[in-house]
Amino acid sequence: MPNNAPDILLVEDSEDDSAFFVIALKVSAPLAQLRIARDGVEALSLIFGLGAPATAKPSMVPKLIVLDLKMPKISGLEVLRLLKTNVHTRAIPVVALTSSQEKRDLVECYQLGVNSYLVKPMNFDRYGEVVRNLSSYWLQFNQSPNP
């Protein structure tokens, strides 16, 4: 794994939601390294470089991927599918952080192997609480097979 791998890769197309996440993360985990991808294409490019996502070894292995589902170009569901079918990336924890409360999205995410599904709170204080709990669990307490 390259030394430039972030603790968290946030895959989010909304600038407002990205800004909320950054602010909340700075408060809850000020030393955490964050990288932001604005859509699924950028996320896959960061993780796999020029390799084919189905088989490539990752060029970046974050401790956690926080993934929005409704994005342009390639959806979060497709990014999740590619991550969880690739033998080299399937163990990377992926948390869906989405505004979707659709049962079909929830079910499909778990069928594809998502590690957690969270609905974005509309309130900034609540959003901060979600990011605080998410970063605390996945960066401090969770045991991962990734180096």
Q: What is the DSSP letter of 20?
A: H
Q: Is 2 a member of any domain? A: no
- The CATH number assigned to the domain holding 40 equals 3.40.50.2300
The model's confidence at residue 8, banded by pLDDT at 50, 70 and 90, is: very high
Interatomic CA distance for residues 1 and 40, integer angstroms: 21
Interatomic CA distance for residues 102 and 25, integer angstroms: 27
The model's confidence at residue 145, banded by pLDDT at 50, 70 and 90, is: confident
Q: Is 122 a member of any domain? A: yes
CA separation, residue 18 to residues 25, 54, 131 (Å):
10, 27, 11
CA separation, residue 85 to residues 19, 20, 23, 27, 92 (Å):
30, 31, 32, 34, 11
Q: Is 73 a member of any domain? A: yes
DSSP string computed for 78-123: HHHHHHHHSTTTTTS-EEEEES---HHHHHHHHHHT-SEEEEPPSS
| One-letter amino acid of 48 | F
Q: How many domains does the chain have?
A: 1
Q: Residue 111: count other Cβ atoms within 10 Å of its Cβ.
A: 11
Reply yes or no on whether the pLDDT at 3 is more than 70: no
Q: Is 146 a member of any domain? A: no
pTM for this prediction? 0.93
Q: Is 1 a member of any domain? A: no
Domain carrying residue 45: 8-140
Q: Is 20 a member of any domain? A: yes
| Residue 90, token pair as written in the block | 């399937």
CA separation, residue 92 to residues 17, 31, 46, 64, 128 (Å):
22, 20, 14, 6, 23
Q: Is 147 a member of any domain? A: no
Q: Is 68 a member of any domain? A: yes
- pLDDT tens for each residue of 91-138: 999 999 999 999 999 999 999 999 999 999 989 899 999 999 999 999
- pLDDT tens for each residue of 30-70: 899 999 999 999 999 999 988 888 889 999 999 999 999 99
The model's confidence at residue 4, banded by pLDDT at 50, 70 and 90, is: low
